[in-house]
Chain A
Amino acid sequence: MTALLLIEQTLNGLQLGVMLFLMSAGLTLVFGIMNLINLAHGSLFMVGAYCAALFLEWTGSFVLAALLALPATLLVGLIIEIVVLRTLYERDHLDQVLATSGLILFFNEALHLVGGAEALYLDLPPFLKGQVKIIPGSPYPLYRLVVIAVGLAVALGLYLLVTRTRTGMLIRAGASNRTMLSALGVNVRLLFTAVFGLGAMLAGLGGVMAGPIVSVQSGMGENVLILAFVVIVIGGIGSIRGAFIAALLIGLIDTMGRAFMADLMGLVMSHTAAQTAGPTIASMLIYLLMAGVLFFRPQGLFPPRGR
């Protein structure tokens, strides 16, 4: 029984992990290359989910809606970049935090207007609805496995893009030394717009995939955003590899903590005390980890080389 639960929770953790990775990948690159704190990244996650929900209403096809939602999010991302963020690169972090929190206010309310006050639900098509028996006797939702698979595939694709292509080389170079890169004649602005668009699309994909699991509502991106910040700080700002490992780590720790912390603590203290303290500690766990990492290794666990 416990072994089953363990497998199930590991899968849940992985699923949260890949979702966080989709969010963090864009965030870490934007932060790493242009030194921009973009709080509105969570809004892109939300935009992705809303677009999917609205397109699903129009087209009736989940796959089509998901495929349309990605370019739509990309477009929104590019508009944000050109209209607001471009002016912010040269500003300090404080200005960036403020302006992008203004964006959050705007998007939360705008989508509220577009989508209505009620939460929207993304219905899965029949072929994604089933349950899979991973090991005999323990059904697990197929869709969550699909999420994990898509997430891992995207991670692999990003890895190949970053390590094997010329664009990837420029991205890595930008993350380790932006000034030098632009001195070498690379159009860093253009590179950044591209990277931001990519990041926006990934966040959108995260939103689309989260849609059927959580309800689609205004403000849904914010919790994920905070978690994504934890991920990129732990992983090392600017590092895709770090973001990947940290995302899985955070996903697993958070899920496992919530599932088992109370029982674990029950081993060393009274049952009732463990039942009250367990969930509290579990929800603080990742922030404790973040504070610890910042304290002992401020550059993160896997900082980009050359820093």
Chain B
Amino acid sequence: MERIVTIAVLIALAAVPLLASVFDAPFYLDLFGRVMIYAIAAISLNLIMGYGGMVSFGHAAFLGLGGYAVGILAKEGIDSGFVQWPLAIGSCALFALLTGLVVLRTSGAYFIMITLAFAQMLFFLFTSLAEYGGDDGLTIWTRSDFAGLIDLNDGASFYYLIFALLLACLGISARLIDSRFGMVLRGAKANERRMQAIGFPTFRYKLAAYTISGAMCGLAGALLANQAEFVGPSVLHWSRSGEILVMVVLGGMGGVAGPVLGAATYLLLSYFLADLTKHWAIIMGPLLILVVLFARGGLLGLLSGRRAKTDAP
């Protein structure tokens, strides 16, 4: 069932540019492009949260860091995507590696709090960078340039680039989860002490997973900055971290495709509710509570009729 849903969703996403051009509604390219970018961010969070039990409440930090890497380089006149994107991903990986050394020493509620603390630090760092927009954020005048290989200013090409990257991230995370590495990660989630007892240095595995997750979210950040042609502190506001969390849980943490479903549902729902009424949050809030209280496996769990495992972190 999960496989069928995944394939259906991906086919639908692939068809969006075609439909958008038929109905002459280029806006939907933007909307669904954003859906896929957040799907990548949610996949990265699911990697550590769904399989590693690490509930990060500061994942938007990577989204922002990746975006600012692109924005700052663009402002300094370096437009080449071949420089911008590796730097965005690399800086996120480095930030994840360094903060991971600290945050992974804690667990449970403390893990939630300390990831939040690091995200807040970055938030205030970028807020006070007056040179790069400060509070107001940074407008990116030119999208990343890939030397004629692909033109990001063309809506459909950019869309398919995001689509391809989404597929790649899905593939990577599916492969990782089923590998020995993923087994250790899932084992550490179920019972860390036992994993250590049978000889796995779980800390290293978790650190590696945290770093991969950060890097992947950094990619999403670079994409988001390019799409919005803007990056600002709001991208790494703590409520954004909350939104990514919601997407993962909404979709269901049990499977690889859950985050994609979750991101699509959350963004499309808030878009249509916002279209319906200015006060969409007053519907979205209670809806969220209902999902948490009654649909514990998320959408994936509802679809496949099984309860996804949501062990205490």
Residues of A within 8 A of B (CB): 31, 35, 37, 39, 84, 87-88, 91-95, 97-99, 101-110, 112-113, 222, 226, 229-230, 233, 237, 276, 279-280, 283-284, 287-288, 290-291, 294-295, 298
Contacts and interface: CB of A to CB of B under 8 A. Distances in A.
Contacts of B102: 291, 294-295
Contacts of B108: 93
Interface in B74-121: 102, 105-106, 108-110, 112-114, 116-118, 120-121
Contacts of A98: 242, 245-246, 249, 288, 291-292
Interface string B263-279: 00000000000000001
Contacts of B105: 295, 298
A238 to B, nearest CB: 11
A37 to B, nearest CB: 6
Contact of A284 (B55, B106, B124, B285): B124
Interface in B8-35: none
6 contacts: A93-B312, A97-B57, A230-B117, A283-B124, A283-B128, A287-B120
B255 interface: no
A108 B285 CA distance: 10
Contacts of A112: 279
Closest 9 CB pairs of A and B: A106-B285, A102-B288, A105-B285, A109-B281, A283-B124, A92-B312, A109-B282, A102-B289, A280-B128
A98 to B, nearest CB: 5
A229 B116 contact: yes
B242 A106 contact: no
A94 B310 contact: yes
A287 B281 contact: no
A284 B245 contact: no
Contacts of A84: 289, 293
A105 B284 CA distance: 7
A102, A104, A110, A288 — which one has the most chain B CB atoms within 10 A of its CB?
A102
Contact of B292 (A99, A230, A287, A295): A99
A288 B121 contact: yes
A230 B296 CA distance: 29
B6 interface: no
A84 B292 CA distance: 10
A294 B110 contact: yes
A106 to B, nearest CB: 3
A90 to B, nearest CB: 10
B280, B282, B311 — which one has the most chain A CB atoms within 10 A of its CB?
B282
B105 to A, nearest CB: 6
Interface string B117-134: 110110011011110000
A298 B110 contact: yes
Contact of B110 (A94, A102, A110, A233): A233
Contacts of A99: 288-289, 292-293
Contacts of B312: 92-93
A113 B279 contact: yes
Contacts of A226: 116, 120, 238
Given A108-B281, A280-B128, A291-B117, 15 more contacts: A37-B112, A93-B108, A98-B246, A99-B289, A101-B239, A106-B281, A109-B279, A109-B281, A110-B282, A222-B238, A229-B116, A230-B117, A233-B113, A288-B121, A291-B121
B286 interface: yes
Contacts of B125: 280, 284
A102 B124 contact: no
B240 to A, nearest CB: 11
A97 B245 contact: yes
Contact of A105 (B117, B128, B129, B288): B288
Contacts of B7: none
Contacts of B310: 92, 94-95
Contact of A102 (B109, B121, B286): B286
Nearest to A284: B121
A109 B285 CA distance: 9
Nearest to A229: B113
A102 B285 contact: yes
B102 to A, nearest CB: 5
A295 B106 CA distance: 8
Nearest to A227: B120
A92 B313 contact: yes
Contact of A283 (B49, B55, B118, B127): B127
B183 interface: no
B114 A97 contact: no
Contacts of A288: 121
B287 interface: yes
B109 A31 contact: yes
A103 B285 contact: yes
A298 B124 contact: no
Contacts of B109: 31, 35, 37, 93, 237
Contacts of B124: 280, 283-284, 287
B135 to A, nearest CB: 12
B109, B127, B242 — which one has the most chain A CB atoms within 10 A of its CB?
B109
Nearest to A31: B109
Nearest to A232: B113
Contacts of A298: 105-106, 110
A84 B294 CA distance: 12
